[in-house]
Chain A
């Protein structure tokens, strides 16, 4: 009974390094979301895919600026890439998937905890 899985669960990076975070959504789920959750805060939206199409990347454009990129080339697995990591990027990165664009329930993965030193 596979839920959303994310890897790695924990990542430590030195400032300036590039990192790649992976999300495996629930099989057959069309929609995929990425959120960033800082310590003691609620998740904040980063980007949204429907199949392989990135339909909303507004959260990548004016929070983390142009160092954050996401892709989902075959409409299943997704990767969130962070270039030139900064200390303020330290957070838990959550992935969520749902069956299709009309359904309501987003199922979240356990997250990847990124620490930038």
Chain B
């Protein structure tokens, strides 16, 4: 069993929909939680970063962390075709340490 589980999709939604992406993890030692976006043939780019449990909002994106359930989520409001990409959750044990990634969820937003 992998340390971080993520449904690979693919997930297809119409433009303007609310998208919910999530990951579960098994190791309670994870302290830092991130969401990366990866376009085809590009490297991952950081979208959201949170420490411990709670919510964080940035524009159309909201990240949630529930450490008691070992569950993290990313919500995208008013999704756009330009949001079509693979979304990777990532976690680390310590600040600035190596990242443990989920498998990635492929999202397609249809105009």
Contact = CB atoms under 8 A, between A and B. Distances in A.
Nearest to B104: A42
A44 B101 contact: yes
Contact of A33 (B41, B42, B98, B103): B98
6 contacts: A35-B101, A42-B6, A42-B90, A56-B98, A102-B95, A105-B46
Interface of A: 4, 31, 33, 35, 40-45, 48, 56, 59, 94, 96, 98, 100-111, 113
B45 A108 contact: yes
B: contact size bracket: 20 to 34
B99 interface: yes
Interface of B: 4, 6, 8, 32, 36, 41-46, 49, 88, 90, 95-96, 98-104
Contact of B49 (A40, A56, A104, A113): A104
A58 to B, nearest CB: 8
A1 B49 CA distance: 23
Contacts of A96: 43
A111 B8 CA distance: 21
Contacts of B4: 42
A41 B43 contact: no
